[in-house]
């Protein structure tokens, strides 16, 4: 089977949401838990299948810590690696020979993209956007807004239990 047929068959079998805006280009939406969705391109080129997924915009702060994390994480990834674009936005990028395009290989690559983007998302936010998270938390607290979707970052606000009042999800939060 040609690579495009393999890709389409796997995406349909896995019931993944995708578009094919032109032959050989598949825009796939992968559902996550921390990062609610990761948009991923599968692009059939002359000699390779290219996988590209946006993970996070360029960090506001602690660039060195973010890039150190990305480089260390690259050593543990299968088939994809972290990279940045010209403005510093963070992506996952991979390339596999067209000869290696099988349903199992595409499944492994998409699984690695999802596991990585979703699994690393909060860490990237903590490292690169801690000040913004703190400001958002304070803004919501001041206005009595829900803190539910910031609960994963409470340790940035209240480093240890019992300090500075109630925790999210208790009577005070």
CATH of the domain at 48: 3.30.1460.10
User: Would you say residue 49 lies in a domain?
Assistant: yes
User: Would you say residue 61 lies in a domain?
Assistant: yes
User: Would you say residue 11 lies in a domain?
Assistant: yes
Give residue 134's Cα distance to chain centre: 21
Residue 15: both structure tokens together: 């019931």
44-48, 121-125, 136-140 — which is least confidently predicted? 136-140
User: Would you say residue 60 lies in a domain?
Assistant: yes
Q: Is the pLDDT of residue 163 over 80?
A: no
User: Would you say residue 150 lies in a domain?
Assistant: no
SS (H, E, C) 97-152: EHHHCCHHHHHHHHHHHHHHHHHHHHHHHHHHHHHHHHHHHHHHHHHCCCCHHHHH
* Angstrom distance (rounded) from CA 25 to CA 49: 10
pLDDT digits (tens, 9 = 90+) for 139-159: 988 999 888 888 888 888 876
112-116, 128-132, 165-169 — which is least confidently predicted? 165-169
The number of helix segments (H) and strand segments (E) in the chain equals 4, 6
Cβ–Cβ < 8 Å for 81, 91: no
* Angstrom distance (rounded) from CA 6 to CA 26: 12
pLDDT at 158: 77
Cβ–Cβ < 8 Å for 91, 53: yes
User: Would you say residue 75 lies in a domain?
Assistant: yes
pLDDT digits (tens, 9 = 90+) for 11-33: 999 999 999 999 999 999 999 99
Supply the range of the domain harboring residue 12: 3-129
Cβ–Cβ < 8 Å for 51, 22: no
User: Would you say residue 121 lies in a domain?
Assistant: yes
What is the count of structural domains for the chain?
1
User: Would you say residue 166 lies in a domain?
Assistant: no
């Amino acid at each position: 089977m040609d690579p495009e047929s393999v890709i389409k068959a796997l995406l349909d079998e896995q019931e993944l949401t995708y578009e094919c805006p032109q032959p050989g280009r598949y825009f796939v939406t992968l559902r996550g838990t921390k990062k609610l969705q990761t948009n991923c391109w599968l692009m059939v080129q002359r000699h390779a299948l290219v996988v590209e997924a946006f993970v996070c915009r360029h960090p506001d702060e602690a660039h060195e810590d973010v890039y150190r994390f990305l480089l260390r994480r690259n050593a543990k990834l299968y088939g994809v690696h972290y990279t940045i674009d010209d403005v510093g936005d963070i992506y996952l990028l991979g390339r596999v020979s067209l000869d290696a395009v099988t349903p199992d290989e595409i499944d492994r690559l998409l699984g690695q993209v999802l596991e990585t983007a979703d699994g690393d998302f909060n860490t990237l936010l903590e490292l690169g956007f801690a000040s913004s998270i703190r400001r958002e938390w304070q803004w919501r607290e001041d206005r009595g807004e829900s803190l539910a979707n910031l609960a994963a970052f409470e340790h940035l606000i209240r480093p240890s239990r019992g300090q500075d009042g109630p925790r999210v999800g208790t009577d005070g939060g």
